[in-house]
Amino acid sequence: MLLHLSTWQEIETYLQTSKGIILPIGSTEQHGPTGLIGTDAICAEAIARGVGESIQAIVAPTINVGMALHHTAFPGTISLRPSTMIQVVRDYVTCLAKAGFTKFYFINGHGGNIATLKAAFSEIYAHLEDLHIPNAQKVQCQVANWFMCNSVYKLAKELYGDQEGSHATPSEVALTQYVYPEVIKQAPLSPEVASGHRIYSAADFRSHYSDGRMGSNPALATPEHGQQFYELAVKELSNGYLEFLNQD
């Protein structure tokens, strides 16, 4: 059930049986020579919708832009500052909490969002208490990173070994190829790819990771692999959401 394709009456009816909602969140950032700029949002949205369908949970519109300032030296990247992203997430949750939702399960597709999301959750709890919203004390937020699912991580290591890397990875590229097979990209990739450098400014990032990859070989990706990652992530995160929903 997609929030944006529902009516307010349908949401009101849904809230009579469940207070949980899934919020896909990703990023709009460079993903190397063959990765789509929307990779992180595409992956989060596809998996979130799969989870929603499998367990009849409502899925909110995808937050497509995240915290990706370190990628902004590459054309096409759009980023929020951490402080802006905190306010965006806080306002999303505040509106939904006023409607009666109390369990917010963020399916995340971008590693750079994690720290800011956790900070946003702390801001949310304090903000809702200050507003004296009914059931504010029951509001709980959790982030679930699809790429860190145990089953996904294990398969990526089996398929790609050390060539999985940590950005513009074959696993995430494979998932986008499964979702959008009509826009699979091809480009020459240097066999030499940088890894291990700390992340600082955008200019510093590009100086170390000249083509945007971080230790990865996305040429190994296939749509068939992507389907496997999708199915594993949907299964694991469906179970994770149900556990979260049933926690006090």
* Residues 27 and 67 sit within 8 Å (Cβ to Cβ): yes
- Read off the pLDDT of residues 148-202 as tens digits, 9 standing for 90 and up: 999 999 999 999 999 999 999 999 999 999 999 999 999 999 999 999 999 999 9
- H-type alpha helices, the chain: 8-14, 39-55, 82-99, 114-131, 150-160, 170-179, 202-208, 223-246
Alpha carbon 82 to chain centroid distance? 16
Mean pLDDT score, 200-223: 98
| Residue 87, pLDDT above cutoff 90 | yes
What is the band of 112 on the pLDDT scale with cuts at 50, 70, 90?
very high
Give the span between the Cα atoms of 170 and 168, in whole angstroms: 7
Domains (range + CATH), the chain: 3-246 (3.40.50.10310)
User: 3-class DSSP state for residue 110?
Assistant: coil
Give the span between the Cα atoms of 168 and 40, in whole angstroms: 10
pTM: 0.97
Q: What is the pLDDT of residue 199?
A: 95
* Residues 216 and 167 sit within 8 Å (Cβ to Cβ): yes
- Read off the pLDDT of residues 22-63 as tens digits, 9 standing for 90 and up: 999 999 999 999 999 999 999 999 999 999 999 999 999 999
| Residue 248, pLDDT above cutoff 90 | no
* Residues 110 and 66 sit within 8 Å (Cβ to Cβ): yes
